[in-house]
Structure 1
Amino acid sequence: MTNPVITGQGAVSETDRSDLYRAVWRWHFYAGLLVLPFLITLSITGALYLFRDEIDNFVHADLKRVAVQQAEAVAPSQMIAAALHAHPGKAVKFTDPPRSDASAEITVATADNERIAVYVDPYEGRVLGTLPDRGTVMWTVRYLHSLRYFGPTARALIEIAGGWSILLVGTGIFLWWPRGRKGGVISIRATPRRRVFWRDLHAVTGLFVGGVIVFLAITGMPWSNVWGGKVNEWANGSNFGYPSGVRVDVPMSDRKLSDTAKTSWTLEQAQIPESTGADGAAPAIGIDAAAETFDRLGLHDGYTISLPGSPNGVYTGSVYPDDLHQQRVVHLDQYSGKALVDMDYDDYGPAGKWLEFGINIHMGQQFGLANQLLLLAACLAIIAMSVSAAVMWWKRRPARGLGVPPMPSDPRVFRGLLAILVIGGVLFPLVGLSLLAMLAVDWTIRRISKIRRHPRMA
């Protein structure tokens, strides 16, 4: 017999409450089993990437930093000529110095079909050195953070980890709920020698950082393969992949903006227009005139110019500074110098604006140093929470076994929890598939446990 906690119609017994706690605890354990290794890796790489400019400028100071001079910068064509003289090939991009003490960067496609970044002193037109294209320390960290080094299949894990992280936070809040308990709610008891210390460290840290985990999981989803790709396709609008509200009446090529240079998430599928004077009637304006036009149009310092790759190609100026409202992409006809398409953040559709705003915060850009420090603290807290979970599990695990929390006495208590999980699986397809896989694993574990307890029933 059990004493009901609430008497009368709809009574809830202690057994019912215990069963619900066990069910939530069991799935919190599974979520942690899947997510914690990713949370630690993403937190370490994410914390480093928050300070990408500072770290790159320090590590690659000999390439990225120059002495400020009173003289005017030499023309872009002169810097490109110096880069090609030192490293023969074809120039494909020119990146304007973002600051007065920064170098220019010319991307060169070599005869070996490789791309290198050539750094040039803008005051003297002197080549400072080279790196592989996107070969800085922070590009390496970024690719590790997004699992890009491990191929599209591995990158799909981002969506799975993001969905299970949300489940981890939701079930964690339920397990943390005081239920009349005073200790370990917002304070940490005991010492590291005792398991209760690690339990409190895990729970209290999770309480304060849980909202950040959910935010980072949702704003990290745009880079996932399945969910991110479909939402990107929807958010870009219907006009050749440009954001809703931008209407252009110019010939369009089959090339995408993401094929030529780094771009914002919203514009990855946007197509590039074509120049219309390829009949030879007018000469191309050249890189110097294109740069002057971009300066006159007011593109933020540090913009990149993607050079025309064919007679129908265009000069594409793009820049994505910390201030979202300074984001801009302009395509110039390479013969007339006319701006064929001019887009900025205000041209994005509502979904694009909200997603870009979230991504900007996720990357530590939107609110300057305060944004960086807040997310750095969150990353450190996530690492502490993950490590404390591992220590807590290690201390409570059985001598021979994984230490999966016990099943509820009434399996029907899973129904409500599974309904929530199914909804999440519909919204995030890869999460749904991983849920089915985990249900199969859970069934297998229960079956093996039953056979061990009752060998004759096997």
Structure 2
Amino acid sequence: MSLSTASTDATLSRGLDRRFYLAAWRWHFYAGLFVAPFMIILAITGMMMMLIGYFDGREGEKITISVPQAAQALSLEDQSALALQDFPGATLVEWIKAPAPDRVNVFRIKQAEGGQTMVALDPYTGEIVETWRRRDGWYDLADTIHGDLLLGTPGDRILEIAAGFGIILILTGLYMWWPRERSLLASLTPFLRGPTREVLKSLHVTIGAALSIVLLLFLLSGMSWTGVWGSKLVQAWSTFPAQKWDNVPLSDETHAAMNHEGHKDMPWALEQTPLPASGSDLGTAGTLEGEPVTLDTIAALGDRLGFTSRYRIAFPKGATGVWTLNQDTMSADAENPFADKTVHVDQYTGKVLVDVRFADYSLAGKTMAVSVPLHMGLVSVWNLAFNTLFCLAMVFLSLSGVAMWWLRRPKKMAARLFAPQVPADMPHWKNAMLLMLIVSLAFPLVGLTLISLLVLDVLVFARIPGLRRLYA
């Protein structure tokens, strides 16, 4: 090969790479403008939830209230009766065991007029120490904004689209950052001298690249709770294998019925699995022979099955309802997700109908059982510290991206977005269309949004001169 041919090939390669870079930059620009406000909202509300949960407990369920320890605690049956005494017509929903002998037990009750109340009770004296409305604190406000922007289903869909575009941001950002002439280490070292925009760009690029994998894991674990990609695709195909219940009667309800007002009380892997039903002679040994089936005997069964420290017992709901013992990291019961367990007990016979452990989950269920508490900063104080720094980094990336765009815009073109230009003679456009098809199949709402934008661009924006100049 002659030197002139080699030089021409190198020039063509650089030109091709430049055109791909401009195309990636344009996608990154538009995705970033859309995602930035939602990323800031998710990061701030996520930090609020983690810090409130760590220092004050999620709506008090962390049970931080201390009481003097005595020699003998009251029976749980007596405690539950005392918890109901100030709430005529109320019914018991759940008992949350104190994580230590000098802490309060907490009962969740459903009041006759609606709504649920938490009752913290001294297990030794039976005194009601504190009561509060369930899911009615700062943690819960942040949680609702984090989950659906206070908009319900429309908010859930908006956040799912934003998370999908966040994945596009990661892919295009990594392509633009990828070292071509410098080493990997040098590419992860920011330049802190020079014009403001150049310093912001260097910090934005290096921090974004360093945290890209973590951000991807956060987005995927968050999207797994969403209504379309999570519920209809991932969760529906990854739920707990129903054949495990084949030898017990099934209820018409799933585990999701045990959630409350959109808040997740059941493990992700079980939500769409049918609940077993009471009222048969099936099941394995549970409460001791001859014992009545009460909260006390169910708690004693929990001790024998390995439920330690804090865990929860849900009371049977209706004639076919079951006692449910549950301990999972997602609910801040423990810090070890590999020890998650859920047990259902027949309310009449006391027999164990189902005993589900972490090992029984599908691969996706195990992944979620680990990733959700990591996502929520529940595994350790180091997990909390890292997640807090990560959220601050996401706020910086969002603000710095918008600031770089603002500084790049010419003053005389203030009425235009001034997006990166579409490169002329863009090669491999069919590959780009194939990539859009893959995205559409993997993330349906993102695909529909991309197709809608493409149709608007071709049929509306490109045909109206004013709009064409604005979005140029």
Q: Which one of the candidate residues 342, 345, 356 is aligned to 1:329? A: 342
Q: Does 2:355 match 1:342?
A: yes
Q: Does 2:47 match 1:47?
A: yes
Q: Are 1:56 and 1:136, in contact at CA under 8 Å, matched by a contact in 2?
A: no
Q: Are 2:104 and 2:121, in contact at CA under 8 Å, matched by a contact in 1?
A: yes
CA distance, structure 2, for counterparts of residue 123 and residue 213 of structure 1: 47
Say which is worse superposed, 162-171 or 120-129, in terms of deviation: 120-129
SS in 2 for 1:98: coil
The 1:445–1:37 alpha-carbon spacing in structure 2 relative to 1, beyond 3 Å, is: same
CA distance, structure 1, for counterparts of residue 316 and residue 196 of structure 2: 66
Within 5 Å, which residues of 2 pair with 1:256-275?
A: 256-261=254-259, 262-275=265-278
Shift, 1:284, TM fit: 5.6
Structure 2 gaps, min length 5: 260-264, 282-289, 329-333
Q: Are 2:461 and 2:467, in contact at CA under 8 Å, matched by a contact in 1?
A: no
Q: Which one of the candidate residues 304, 309, 331 is aligned to 1:301? A: 309
Shift, 1:333, TM fit: 1.5
Q: Are 1:62 and 1:128, in contact at CA under 8 Å, matched by a contact in 2?
A: no
Partner of 1:209: 211
CA distance, structure 1, for counterparts of residue 270 and residue 149 of structure 2: 19
Q: Are 1:86 and 1:127, in contact at CA under 8 Å, matched by a contact in 2?
A: no
Shift, 1:400, TM fit: 1.5
Q: Are 1:118 and 1:127, in contact at CA under 8 Å, matched by a contact in 2?
A: yes
Deviations 1:44-70 (A, max 9, x none): 122233345323249969974123414
Give TM-score scaled by structure 2 length: 0.84
Deviations 1:78-107 (A, max 9, x none): 222122112221112111112334322212
- Over the aligned positions, Cα root-mean-square deviation in angstroms equals 3.0
Give the aligned residue type for 2:212: G
CA distance, structure 2, for counterparts of residue 205 and residue 303 of structure 1: 39
Shift, 1:71, TM fit: 3.0
Partner of 2:94: 93
Q: Does 2:327 match 1:316?
A: no
Q: Are 1:425 and 1:432, in contact at CA under 8 Å, matched by a contact in 2?
A: yes
Partner of 2:24: 24
The percent of aligned pairs where both chains have the same amino acid is 31
CA distance, structure 1, for counterparts of residue 446 and residue 454 of structure 2: 12
SS in 2 for 1:394: helix
Runs of 4+ more than 6 Å apart = 8-11, 181-184, 450-453
The 1:429–1:58 alpha-carbon spacing in structure 2 relative to 1, beyond 3 Å, is: closer
Partner of 1:355: 368
Shift, 1:224, TM fit: 1.1
Q: Are 1:97 and 1:302, in contact at CA under 8 Å, matched by a contact in 2?
A: yes
CA distance, structure 2, for counterparts of residue 179 and residue 5 of structure 1: 22
SS in 2 for 1:223: coil
Say which is worse superposed, 442-451 or 348-357, in terms of deviation: 442-451
SS in 1 for 2:151: helix
Say which is worse superposed, 50-59 or 201-210, in terms of deviation: 50-59
Within 5 Å, which residues of 2 pair with 1:48-67?
A: 48-57=48-57, 64-67=64-67
Give the aligned residue type for 1:410: D
CA distance, structure 2, for counterparts of residue 233 and residue 361 of structure 1: 22
Say which is worse superposed, 113-122 or 444-453, in terms of deviation: 444-453
CA distance, structure 2, for counterparts of residue 249 and residue 229 of structure 1: 27
SS in 2 for 1:48: helix
Partner of 1:249: 247
Structure 1 gaps, min length 5: 454-458
CA distance, structure 2, for counterparts of residue 452 and residue 94 of structure 1: 61
The 1:56–1:63 alpha-carbon spacing in structure 2 relative to 1, beyond 3 Å, is: same
Q: Which one of the candidate residues 225, 232, 236 is aligned to 1:223? A: 225
SS in 2 for 1:50: helix
Give the aligned residue type for 1:209: L
The 1:270–1:214 alpha-carbon spacing in structure 2 relative to 1, beyond 3 Å, is: same
The 1:451–1:111 alpha-carbon spacing in structure 2 relative to 1, beyond 3 Å, is: closer
CA distance, structure 2, for counterparts of residue 303 and residue 402 of structure 1: 53
CA distance, structure 2, for counterparts of residue 190 and residue 62 of structure 1: 47
Partner of 2:449: 434
Q: Does 2:377 match 1:379?
A: no
Deviations 1:351-399 (A, max 9, x none): 3212322223222234x22222222221111111111111111111232
Partner of 2:417: 402
Give the aligned residue type for 2:405: W
Within 5 Å, which residues of 2 pair with 1:362-373?
A: 362-366=375-379, 368-373=380-385
Give TM-score scaled by structure 1 length: 0.87
How many residues were matched structurally? 441
CA distance, structure 2, for counterparts of residue 299 and residue 126 of structure 1: 26
Give the aligned residue type for 1:350: L
Give the aligned residue type for 1:273: P
The 1:375–1:421 alpha-carbon spacing in structure 2 relative to 1, beyond 3 Å, is: farther
Q: Are 1:73 and 1:123, in contact at CA under 8 Å, matched by a contact in 2?
A: yes
The 1:442–1:198 alpha-carbon spacing in structure 2 relative to 1, beyond 3 Å, is: farther
The 1:40–1:265 alpha-carbon spacing in structure 2 relative to 1, beyond 3 Å, is: same
Give the aligned residue type for 1:315: W
Give the aligned residue type for 1:172: G
